[in-house]
Chains A and B, each alone.
Chain A
Amino acid sequence: MAVNSSLAPVRRAGAASGRSSLFRQSVRRLLHNKLAMSGFVVVLFMFALCFVGPLFSPYTDNKINMAMMNKAPGLKHWLGTDALGRDILTRVMQAGRISLTVGLASMVLSVFIGALLGAVAGYYRGVADQIIMRVADLLLTIPGLPLLFIFGALLSEWKIPTDYRMYIVMLMLSIVNWPGMARMVRGQMLSLREREFMQAAVVLGLRDRRKLFNHLLPNIIPLLIVMATLNIGGAILSESVLSFFGLGVMPPTPTWGNMIDAANNMIDFQQRPWLWIPPGLSIFATVIAINIFGDGLRDVLDPKQKR
């Protein structure tokens, strides 16, 4: 008597009302999921803090202020100041802009590449599939972290200006992340191809492009949304690791990862925890909120994929 809530395949042609009610139903169920909604609220809060917060800070110019060096948290500087007298709270917010942007952008890029290549491989199979999946296998065989480290070292050796490094870091993260995405999308494509409604499309003699875009892609969009959401968290974590080890985004561009670099200094690490704990907690809070929200999304959009 268990009430099963599996999603019927999404049809596009002539089913506008059915589609919107499916969408509305999903939103309603998402709103009912308290855990997921609290995750969403925290994510919104972090974005607001990082993108709007600095507007209310009197310290955004990052002026070096020798009189205010290494001050502990207090009334004037809520989270204290660093060795150059800069306000930590302001820097955490500014760093968050970069970290969140890198996470978002690299997610968009790897979802785009992964979904496109995975869909092509799964749909057309044959040579395209062989080439794409062999490259993906290759990249998945090489351990991710050393790969990122090599890329990071290459960046340093090529003397990429620090302003541009964040864009390259986005690209690096996407290169490492797309194969997993492609593999998943391909698997979905392969199983969708075999499903009855797809065979019906073949019987009707629909053209390839139409089959791919009108019938197959809409069915993997829920999966893509979920994967994309969870991917942001992963990208933020990877960026922070790279930047912490000095191989990602480098100062003076602040990111949460390179702010924690302060902990590599013995005195800062032991006696000035306000330098590195706030950015660390920011990463943690953001990623956990994204993961919780993403999981709630998965429950709503893709109940079969629950893991």
Chain B
Amino acid sequence: MSTYLTKRLLYMIIILFGASLLIFCLYASTPGDFITGNIKLTAERKAELREIYGLNKPVLERYGLWMKNALHGDFGYSLAQQKPVLQLFNDYIWNSFLLAAVSTFLTWVIAVIIGVVSAYKQYSWFDTLVMVAIFAAMSLPSFFIGLFLIKILAVDLKWLPPGGIITTGSNATGWEYIKEVVRHMALPVIVMTLLGLGSLTRYFRSNMIDVLRQDYIRTARAKGLRERKVLFTHALRNALLPAITLVGFELPALFGGSLIIEKIFNWPGIGQLYMQSFGLRDYPLLMGFTMFIAILTVIGTLLSDLLYRIADPRVRLQ
């Protein structure tokens, strides 16, 4: 187990180094940078700034410098916002987390319930309806469904605010503030839940269908257990087990924000920060963000693997 872990960790680090080099080169090769694009600066000032930020050095040298600092926990300084990248992440990430955590929770709860019921009633009209809905959810263009719901629920019906985290100019505090945030969250959460629901429901449905065919389900029924108990204790426990691996894969989505949804709903999260910085070519921030997601992805994969080993009594011993 420990040699396995060491091997995995080593490989993770190598992959991350490779990814960082690739990301750095890609960003470095996008011509135009924050300084060139800024028309307020004079030519001399631009040259001076390039010198300060080391933008006139060769790519590999810049990469070495960036890497050295990154290893010391310093991901550089955002050029546009004049703040350390990590501090900016800390400012924005929790808004992203709020949105992602709520919608992930809702997605899982709804997906498990619908998945179980439609697996139990496989081939019924309810199941067919669920299947069509699953495909619909998986086929939604995220930005379009976002815009569509804003148009209907916010612009036309005025039920919910169209975007942002609080009403502009609002000074609400305490309960009022929480209520306001919840109202603003509603639309993006609905959209994110909808988008995640398709594949997850499908996953639980097919897992359940497999499990319901197993011999031990027949045994549970032969013991005279209530159907609800058969489904939710005997079957669901087994169907949920492989889903533990998904928890790790949710990690990047939980902390990495959603570029498209946050942009569409003007939600002040890390995804929106990225989109904003992308237009400004604020490289330290873009680099930092991309690396951050890559790190989360790698950790998430490892986590999935470990969780599965812990959760399944059959693998635990081996």
Q: Do chains A and B touch in the complex (CB under 8 A)?
A: yes
Chain A interface residues (CB < 8 Å from chain B): 2, 35, 134, 137-138, 140-143, 145-147, 149-150, 153-154, 157-158, 233, 237, 240-241, 244, 257, 260, 263, 269-270, 273, 276-277, 280, 283-284, 287-288, 290-292, 295, 306-307
CB pairs A–B below 8 angstroms (14 shown): A35-B132, A140-B297, A142-B22, A143-B297, A146-B259, A146-B290, A149-B259, A149-B278, A158-B31, A240-B144, A244-B143, A284-B139, A284-B141, A284-B144
Please encode chain B, from 236 to 247, with 1 for each CB lying within 8 Å of some chain A CB and 0 for all others.
Answer: 000000000000
Instruction: Pick from B2-10, B13-21, B104-112, B175-183 the stretch touching chain A.
Output: B13-21
How far, in whole Å, are A217 and B136 apart by their CA atoms in the complex? 33
Residues of A within 8 A of B15 (CB): 134, 137-138, 141
Check A283/B141 contact, CB under 8 A, given A138-B18, A138-B22.
yes
Is the CB–CB distance between B142 and A280 below 8 Å?
A: no
Residues of B within 8 A of A237 (CB): 139, 141
Residues of A within 8 A of B289 (CB): 146
By beta carbon, the residue of chain A nearest B199 is: A307
A sample of 8 more A-B contacts (CB under 8 A), given A157-B30, A292-B132, is A141-B297, A141-B298, A142-B22, A237-B139, A241-B260, A270-B151, A288-B138, A295-B135
Shortest A240–chain B CB gap in Å is 5
Is the CB–CB distance between A241 and B297 below 8 Å?
A: no
In this complex, the member of B19, B32, B144, B298 whose beta carbon has the largest number of chain A beta carbons within 10 angstroms is B144
Is the CB–CB distance between A141 and B148 below 8 Å?
A: no
Please encode chain B, from 277 to 302, with 1 for each CB lying within 8 Å of some chain A CB and 0 for all others.
Answer: 01000000010011001100110000
How far, in whole Å, are A188 and B122 apart by their CA atoms in the complex? 28
B128 at the A interface (CB under 8 A): yes
Contact of B290 among A142, A263, A284, A291 (CB under 8 A): A142
Contact of A143 among B203, B260, B278, B293 (CB under 8 A): B293
Residues of A within 8 A of B202 (CB): 307
Is the CB–CB distance between B138 and A154 below 8 Å?
A: no
In this complex, the member of B15, B135, B289 whose beta carbon has the largest number of chain A beta carbons within 10 angstroms is B135
Check A145/B259 contact, CB under 8 A, given A280-B141, A292-B135, A307-B202.
yes
Shortest A230–chain B CB gap in Å is 9
Residues of B within 8 A of A142 (CB): 19, 22-23, 290, 293-294
B140 at the A interface (CB under 8 A): yes
Residues of A within 8 A of B22 (CB): 138, 142
B52 at the A interface (CB under 8 A): no
Residues of A within 8 A of B115 (CB): none
Shortest A164–chain B CB gap in Å is 18
Is the CB–CB distance between B141 and A241 below 8 Å?
A: yes
Shortest A303–chain B CB gap in Å is 12
By beta carbon, the residue of chain A nearest B19 is: A141
Is the CB–CB distance between A307 and B206 below 8 Å?
A: yes
Residues of B within 8 A of A138 (CB): 15, 18-19, 22
Shortest B8–chain A CB gap in Å is 12
How far, in whole Å, are A283 and B144 apart by their CA atoms in the complex? 9
Residues of B within 8 A of A292 (CB): 132, 135
Q: Which 10 A-B pairs have the closest CB atoms?
A: A280-B144, A288-B139, A287-B139, A143-B293, A157-B31, A141-B19, A291-B135, A263-B147, A138-B18, A150-B26
Say which size band chain B's interface belongs to: 35 or more
In this complex, the member of B19, B128, B213, B274 whose beta carbon has the largest number of chain A beta carbons within 10 angstroms is B19
Shortest A278–chain B CB gap in Å is 11
Is the CB–CB distance between A307 and B203 below 8 Å?
A: yes
Which residues of B (259-318) have their CB < 8 Å from a CB of A?
259-260, 274, 278, 286, 289-290, 293-294, 297-298
Check A240/B19 contact, CB under 8 A, given A145-B259, A146-B259, A280-B148.
no
Residues of A within 8 A of B293 (CB): 142-143, 146
Residues of B within 8 A of A263 (CB): 147
Residues of B within 8 A of A306 (CB): 206
Residues of B within 8 A of A134 (CB): 15, 18
Shortest A80–chain B CB gap in Å is 15
Residues of A within 8 A of B147 (CB): 260, 263, 269, 276, 280
How far, in whole Å, are A260 and B143 apart by their CA atoms in the complex? 9
Residues of B within 8 A of A241 (CB): 141-143, 260
Residues of A within 8 A of B203 (CB): 307
Residues of A within 8 A of B31 (CB): 157-158
Contact of B141 among A146, A240, A295 (CB under 8 A): A240
Please encode chain B, from 130 to 161, with 1 for each CB lying within 8 Å of some chain A CB and 0 for all others.
Answer: 01100110111111100110010001000000
Contact of B29 among A143, A145, A154, A277 (CB under 8 A): A154
Is the CB–CB distance between A150 and B27 below 8 Å?
A: yes
Residues of B within 8 A of A284 (CB): 136, 139-141, 144
By beta carbon, the residue of chain B nearest A157 is: B31
Is the CB–CB distance between B32 and A233 below 8 Å?
A: no
B256 at the A interface (CB under 8 A): yes
Please encode chain B, from 169 to 203, with 1 for each CB lying within 8 Å of some chain A CB and 0 for all others.
Answer: 00000000000000000000000000000000011
Residues of A within 8 A of B32 (CB): 157
Shortest B287–chain A CB gap in Å is 10
How far, in whole Å, are A237 and B131 apart by their CA atoms in the complex? 20
How far, in whole Å, are A194 and B112 apart by their CA atoms in the complex? 36
Shortest A184–chain B CB gap in Å is 16
By beta carbon, the residue of chain A nearest B147 is: A263
How far, in whole Å, are A159 and B289 apart by their CA atoms in the complex? 26
B252 at the A interface (CB under 8 A): yes
Please encode chain B, from 23 to 56, with 1 for each CB lying within 8 Å of some chain A CB and 0 for all others.
Answer: 1001101111000000000000000000000000
Is the CB–CB distance between A273 and B290 below 8 Å?
A: no
Residues of B within 8 A of A291 (CB): 135, 138-139
